[in-house]
Structure 1
Amino acid sequence: MSPQLKTHLLPKQEPSSEKHGSTSGVVFNVSTSIIGAGIMSMPAAFKVLGVIPALLIIAIIACLSTISAGFLMKSTLAGESTTYAGVMKESFGKTGSVAVQIATMVATFGCMVIFSIIIGDVLSGNENGGSEHFGVLQEWFGSQWWNTRIFALLSIYGVVLLPLVLCRRVERLAFSSAVSFLLAVLFVVISSVLAISALMSGETKNPRLFPELSNGGSFWNLFTASPVIVTAFTFHFNVHPIGFELKDPLQVIPATKISVILCAAIYFTTGLFGYLLFGDATMSDILVNFDKSSGSSIGSLLNDIVRLSYALHLMLVFPLMNFSLRANLDELLFPMKPSLGKDTKRFIGLTLALLICCFLSAIAVPDIWYFFQFLGSTTTVSIAFIFPAAIVLRNVHGVSTSREKIVAAIMLILAVATSIIAISTNLYSLTAN
């Protein structure tokens, strides 16, 4: 149901000997952009929504995400821009480009901080509400000076993240993205094996197929789960850098469809089996549940593999988030400068500055929950649905069909209404607490 793209809208391109990205690389990069920290909150979303509504919402948001990505590429190729901010500027002027740049920077920086906090929790543990959870390094080696949260994160930033974020072309991240995607699959496989094993031994919880609506507040709380799923399918800030490294940028659309289908299957499997394993005890961060050993050496080993594979997955997703954040910040601060990839001093300066800010934020911020609540109902929903729908309705290039305008209008209304309800419910909950 993605928008139709006609060849006469494409700009003529001169033959070039430059190396281009591959379709398989696009699939892995888009998949890695999609599967981030959102996967760990899927079981909690199932707990709130129930199995059937959660499946329907995942399918709907996955479909709308593919459509909105098609809207973006169609409008982009009809104009002169090659970036998300550029196509927004063509439609809404400088205000539009600044809006998408700020939204993308807030969303990507927030995700990078969330990734860092989770990595720190996995390696060095955390203490929340008086309950202490030991990290993998503490369980293996005891509490040492070198496995404290600050030192562990500093080591990961210097040894793993810094070399990856210094890549100037997103296509060079295709291999790390493939490894990251396989790690996400490993996480799903192990969770599934644990759930099936528990199911066969009669140890699984009874999942609710539909939500419990015992009072009025419960109904409104259902809207707080939708932003989690929206955040989980927000990859649109990487569509342009990934697509325009292809010889034919149109090929990003079928690759995106494949990625979204794969990721939707992973999300549903993770959400269902995680909910089966822990039932109403499912935490917003499913890794907290895996912190408790099952009592056997095999169970303990599987728990450690689940946590470490997920942490490594986030380490490999981190550079893709950084790539988009750095590009948007550079476009906002230095609009008249040459390409960032050709200016070594500016490239390294921005990269190190962002890395340092992210590290300090991850050390200072103790919890990820509020990030998920408000990112999903503000910046990510704008990037994924509101901005692409507005571009189609604005139709400055005259390429939007009547059907696309109807779909865009429905998308816009649903996104705005759901966001308002989610924000209001979250603010009410904070005030009540």
Structure 2
Amino acid sequence: MERRRRGPAPAAGGGRLRRALPRRALSAGAVFILLKSALGAGLLSFPWAFGRAGGAVPALLVELGSLVFLVSGLAVLGYAAALSAQPTYQGVVRAVCGAAVGKLCEVCFLLNLFMISVALLRVVGDQLEKLCDSLYPNGTLSGAPQLPPWYVDQRFTLSALCVLVIFPLSVPREIGFQKYSSILGTLAACYLTVVIVLKYYLQAESLRCWGWGLSPALSPLVLQCHEACVAIYSSMRNQSFSHWVTVSVLSMLICLLIYSLTGLYGYLTFGKAVASDVLMSYPGNDPIVIVARLLFGVSIVTIYPIVVLLGRSVVKDLWAAPKRGAVAASEAHERWSRVALTVTWMAATLGIALFVPDIGKVIELIGGISAFFIFIFPGMAISEVRSTPAAPSCLRRAALIAWGVLSVLGGAFVCGQSAALAVLGLLR
């Protein structure tokens, strides 16, 4: 496939990221990274979402309809990345849609990634807290309350996890490195699905009578694979369009299977009484459920480093924007700046996750920003596809334009609906 540059020259930050993302990731690694980017905290709330959607059939139909937009968005972004020779999502939008839209993309991207990081740490902290509660239940000793040990406090456990596990995974500059942790995270998420399916067939009757109340709804803001897809495409060895479409379709089909099985069997087990955190509907002292909660925490932990890598690329682009054409930084300077950005990002998101109690309302309010990256920007990027030297026929161009308009309108609807529901929730 012919590769050419369009639009402005890549920013200094984008050039550094191009070198930071060598084409070494194998296809299987790209599939796992793309898949893991889509398997977020929303997996726990999918059975609850099936109930809110009116049952299994309407929910599955919505999933299938969404799959078309998801795959087409990934395909368009990969094609636009090949044509613009940009290694980042914001770089592709800047080259395709112009500097003004590119700047809007950078600001929205940075805000979205930062709040995703906070949401991920909050979800991991909640899982750690529930896990510790199952291991050290509050009780009484001689009539006096027995407090749990200090080392099970969420402020200590989450901070220790960030320092000992998340930080080492977040420092590497190559997204191809994340394929190892993404394989582990995907398998951990699959364990949750297997547990829910087996529990339905083995213990469905007893579980339907289990008296758990609804837990607070999980945040709808989770990392979508579209935010990471350009960086993943840039790291692939084989960057042909057909190969990228194969990777995208395979990833989304596996993702659809995991989400559908989790949502369907969780909903069939508990009906509309299912908790928004489906694991809260099971007995808290069940060893299998405890392991599922532990592994799901591992799955969420593997997403955070991908978000940090994308966030660093946006910060570098914003920092380098006034200095386009500057001399590339030395290897040592790049390493220290990468470590400093990672520490700053992690400290800020950890502090907010631990000490800001009502951050969930803010996350819900800006959750609709994700629609820009899934629907709106890919819809706008279709203009690049129809203006290539090997442009399609008039009929196909008209179809691409119509699909782009439909994608933009759908994204605007999703974004507006999400913001409206968040505002109504704040006013209640």
Give the TM-score category using the shorter length.
0.7 to 0.9
Match of 2:227 among 211, 230, 237: 237
Q: 1:42 Cα deviation (Å)? A: 0.9
User: May I ask how many residue pairs the two structures share in their alignment?
Assistant: 383
Match of 2:301 among 292, 298, 315: 315
SS of residue in 1 equivalent to 2:307: helix
CA 80–173 in structure 1, closer or farther in 2 if over 3 Å, else same: closer
Amino acid in structure 2 at the alignment position of 1:262 = I
Amino acid in structure 2 at the alignment position of 1:356 = A
Amino acid in structure 1 at the alignment position of 2:247 = A
CA 75–394 in structure 1, closer or farther in 2 if over 3 Å, else same: closer
| 2:399 is the counterpart of 1:403 | yes
Q: 1:94 Cα deviation (Å)? A: 2.3
* Contact 1:385–1:412 (CA under 8 A) maintained in structure 2: yes
* Contact 2:170–2:309 (CA under 8 A) maintained in structure 1: yes
CA 242–284 in structure 1, closer or farther in 2 if over 3 Å, else same: same
Encode CA deviations 1:164-223: one digit per residue, 9 max, x unaligned.
001111111111110110001111001111122233x47548xxxxxxxxxxxxxxxxxx
Amino acid in structure 1 at the alignment position of 2:203 = A
TM-score normalised by the chain length of structure 2 = 0.81
* Contact 1:79–1:87 (CA under 8 A) maintained in structure 2: yes
| 2:188 is the counterpart of 1:183 | yes
CA distance in 1, matches of 2:195, 2:82: 42
* Contact 1:166–1:351 (CA under 8 A) maintained in structure 2: yes
* Contact 2:88–2:313 (CA under 8 A) maintained in structure 1: no
Q: 1:138 Cα deviation (Å)? A: 3.1
| 2:271 is the counterpart of 1:279 | yes
CA distance in 2, matches of 1:105, 1:233: 13
- Farther off after superposition, 396-405 or 165-174: 396-405
Structure 1 segment 28-427 matched on structure 2, within 5 A: 28-49=32-53, 50-125=55-130, 135-139=133-137, 143-199=148-204, 201=205, 204=208, 228=220, 234-250=224-240, 251-290=243-282, 292-293=283-284, 300-335=286-321, 336=324, 338=328, 343-366=334-357, 370=361, 373-376=364-367, 378-393=368-383, 397-398=387-388, 399=391, 401-427=397-423
Q: 1:423 Cα deviation (Å)? A: 2.3
Q: 1:247 Cα deviation (Å)? A: 2.4
Supply the RMSD in Å over aligned alpha carbons: 2.8
Amino acid in structure 2 at the alignment position of 1:46 = F
* Contact 1:284–1:369 (CA under 8 A) maintained in structure 2: no
Q: 1:160 Cα deviation (Å)? A: 0.6
* Contact 2:24–2:236 (CA under 8 A) maintained in structure 1: yes
CA distance in 2, matches of 1:107, 1:118: 16
CA distance in 2, matches of 1:103, 1:286: 31
* Contact 1:124–1:138 (CA under 8 A) maintained in structure 2: no
- Farther off after superposition, 70-79 or 33-42: 70-79
Q: 1:142 Cα deviation (Å)? A: 6.5
Q: 1:96 Cα deviation (Å)? A: 1.6
CA distance in 1, matches of 2:223, 2:88: 19
CA 371–307 in structure 1, closer or farther in 2 if over 3 Å, else same: farther
- Farther off after superposition, 421-430 or 238-247: 421-430
* Contact 1:177–1:316 (CA under 8 A) maintained in structure 2: yes
**Runs of at least 5 residues in structure 1 that lack an aligned partner in the other structure:** 1-6, 12-17, 126-132, 206-224, 294-298
Amino acid in structure 1 at the alignment position of 2:248 = T
CA 151–382 in structure 1, closer or farther in 2 if over 3 Å, else same: same
Encode CA deviations 1:235-261: one digit per residue, 9 max, x unaligned.
112112111112232333311111110
**Paired residue for 1:216?**
none
SS of residue in 2 equivalent to 1:311: helix
CA distance in 1, matches of 2:2, 2:384: 20
* Contact 1:204–1:278 (CA under 8 A) maintained in structure 2: yes
**Paired residue for 1:4?**
none
- Farther off after superposition, 110-119 or 155-164: 110-119
SS of residue in 2 equivalent to 1:168: coil
- Farther off after superposition, 246-255 or 318-327: 246-255
TM-score normalised by the chain length of structure 1 = 0.81
CA distance in 2, matches of 1:307, 1:34: 18
CA 328–253 in structure 1, closer or farther in 2 if over 3 Å, else same: farther
Q: 1:33 Cα deviation (Å)? A: 0.6
CA distance in 2, matches of 1:341, 1:67: 38
